[in-house]
């Protein structure tokens, strides 16, 4: 089975105090976009393996997709008394790492969805239970499993689908430095910034204290024709919004020499989809 694991952007992100479990409470409107990793899942005689086309991505138990597969098989055995003998998972990586686009979470969501689809319909795990598993894997995984346009609350486990966002094209520009999500939230607490209500992403001001290039990218996207630009999640990816794909392509041509990890992408209505084996990575 081959699946498309779609990236997400945060149309808004507001961060509140820490919860008793150590996570921050948040409120975010998240949107799935067409930039995706490809996840290939095949049954095996025994064991669980996770490999990736990008050597920088952890393989085996250190990969979040491995954790998702482990939790799924454990749950499946508890519910049905049966489980797959073995699983081989391969990730064709296109979503930049540590970029605020939930690439790892998208991969994990695709694994949960794909393994469930590989079961006979009579013993598949209900969506409500699958979402509970997703929350155990990671904070962004429940949204990535749901996809589309959603209001996300709690630490990420409360996902409420919204009216679909109007068809929008985005130019994504990811500068050549990662941003640790853990660091961003710790700095948010340490700095205790007073942010105006007009701010769309509470973490943007935090990341700017270390990476002024975020502001430079935003300004450039606006000058090139985007009607809005902001950072996604904990960054460093910045997305600029336009109404038409041709506009997005022209802007991409003008920034991709400076930002090699730049893409044109668009809104999609799901987090995971079954892919054609003949499909190219750009589709």
Which residues participate in catalysis according to the annotation?
8, 140
Q: Strand 86-92 and strand 149-154: pairing? A: unpaired
164: CB partners within 8 A, 6+ apart: 148, 149, 267, 269
Buried b (16+ CB within 10 A) or exposed e, 200-212: ebbbbbbbeeebe
Q: 177: which 2 tokens?
A: 């430095």
Rounded distance, CA 37 to CA 106, Å? 8
Q: Give yes or no for a contact between 164 and 149, defined as CB atoms under 8 angstroms apart.
A: yes
Rounded distance, CA 204 to CA 67, Å? 30
What three-state secondary structure class fits 52?
A: strand
Closest CA to 214 of 237, 186, 181, 183: 237
């Amino acid at each position: 089975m081959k699946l498309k694991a779609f990236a997400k952007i945060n149309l808004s992100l507001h961060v509140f105090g820490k919860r008793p479990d150590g996570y921050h409470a948040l409120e975010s409107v998240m949107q799935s976009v067409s930039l995706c990793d490809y996840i290939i899942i095949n049954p095996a005689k025994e064991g669980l393996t996770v490999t990736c086309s990008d050597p920088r991505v952890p393989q085996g138990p250190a990969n979040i997709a491995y954790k998702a597969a482990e939790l799924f098989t454990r749950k499946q055995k508890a519910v049905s008394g049966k489980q797959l003998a073995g699983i081989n998972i391969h990730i064709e990586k296109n979503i930049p790492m540590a970029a605020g686009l939930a690439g790892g979470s998208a991969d994990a969501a695709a694994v949960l969805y794909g393994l469930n689809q590989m079961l006979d319909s009579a013993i598949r795990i209900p969506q409500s239970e699958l979402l509970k598993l997703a929350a155990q894997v990671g904070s962004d995984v429940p949204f990535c499993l749901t996809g589309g346009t959603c209001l996300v609350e709690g630490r990420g486990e409360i996902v409420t689908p919204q009216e679909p966002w109007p068809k929008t094209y985005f130019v994504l520009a990811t500068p050549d430095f990662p941003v640790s999500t853990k660091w961003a939230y710790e700095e948010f607490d340490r700095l205790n910034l007073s942010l105006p209500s007009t701010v769309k992403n509470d973490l943007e001001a935090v990341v700017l204290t270390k990476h002024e290039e975020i502001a430079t990218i935003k300004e450039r996207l606006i000058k090139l024709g985007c009607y809005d630009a902001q950072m996604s999640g904990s960054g460093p990816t910045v997305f600029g919004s336009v109404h038409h794909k041709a506009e997005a392509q022209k802007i991409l041509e003008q920034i991709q020499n400076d930002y090699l990890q730049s893409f044109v992408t668009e809104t999609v209505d799901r987090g995971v989809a079954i892919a054609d084996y003949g499909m190219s990575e750009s589709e």
